[in-house]
Amino acid sequence: MNTPRGKAIAAALVAAGLVLGSVVGAVVAGAAGRSDRTAAAGGAIDRVGVVRSTAIFNTSTTSFATIPGATIKVTVPAGEHVLLIARFTTQDDCTVGDQAPTGHCLARILANTTEMAPASGGSIIDSVQNGAPAGIGSAALDRSIGPVGPGTYTIAVQVKVTSGLMILEVTDWHITVERVRVS
């Protein structure tokens, strides 16, 4: 590229790269400042609670229902603020009854009555298309809330289906809740 034409092409490529780099940088910077992104930080994990079960829970409800026993109570002492982190894993079977529905099986984690972040109205853990069951799979949610102040928080896992013609079965589930001090 030592010819005048080669030098012009090289200069054009460098200029294009600078422009592209500026555009990508602006997009990344804009995404970092988006209002749908939140962050929290804390110190040491202060307390851990675990609940697990091999019981089978089946539901066809189109309203969120708490999985029996899938709750943990966490107390935040007076004068403290904490970040609560909850993890839920399960074996699931998102299937159909006698019809051929299309829909989703969803799960969410609540702290008292507030959906933990990212709160989206429930996360899809599996789907059914035209009556074809999704089959047995694994699902996981990782959620947080806080900093929250003193009080008692009930962390609960809820599930639902988007069509009453569907059936969601969860079993071999596990919940871990961590309390992390922030003040």
DSSP letter for each residue of 122-136: -EEEEEEBTTB--EE
Q: Do residue 18 and residue 62 come from a single domain?
A: no
Judgement on whether residues 86 and 136 belong to the same structural domain of the protein: yes
Cα gap 95→173, rounded to integer Å: 18
Among 13-17, 40-44, 48-52, 79-83, the least confident range: 13-17
Q: What is the dihedral of CA 181, 70, 145, 43, to 10 degrees?
A: 20
Give pLDDT tens digits for 110-142: 999 999 999 989 888 888 887 777 778 899 999
Are 77 and 134 in a shared domain?
Answer: yes
Per DSSP, 117 falls in state: B
21 and 79 together in one domain: no
64 and 4 in a common domain = no
Range of the domain at 6: 1-37
Structural domain total, the chain: 2
Residues 97, 123, single domain; the answer is yes
Residue percentage of the chain with pLDDT more than 70: 80
Task: Give the closest residue to 53 by CA, choosing from 85, 93, 92, 90.
Answer: 90
CATH number for the domain harbouring residue 92? 2.60.120.1340
The secondary structure of the chain in percent helix, strand, coil, rounded to multiples of 5, reads: 15, 55, 30
87 in the same domain as 70: yes
C-alpha dihedral over 182, 116, 108, 45, to 10 degrees? 0
Do 26 and 104 sit in the same domain of this protein? Answer: no
Mean pLDDT, residues 92-111 taken together: 86
Q: Are residues 31 and 74 in the same domain?
A: no
Weakest mean pLDDT among 58-67, 90-99, 137-146: 90-99
Global pTM reads 0.77
What pLDDT does 7 receive? 52
Q: Is 65 helix (H, G, I), strand (E, B) or coil?
A: strand
Same domain, 20 and 88: no
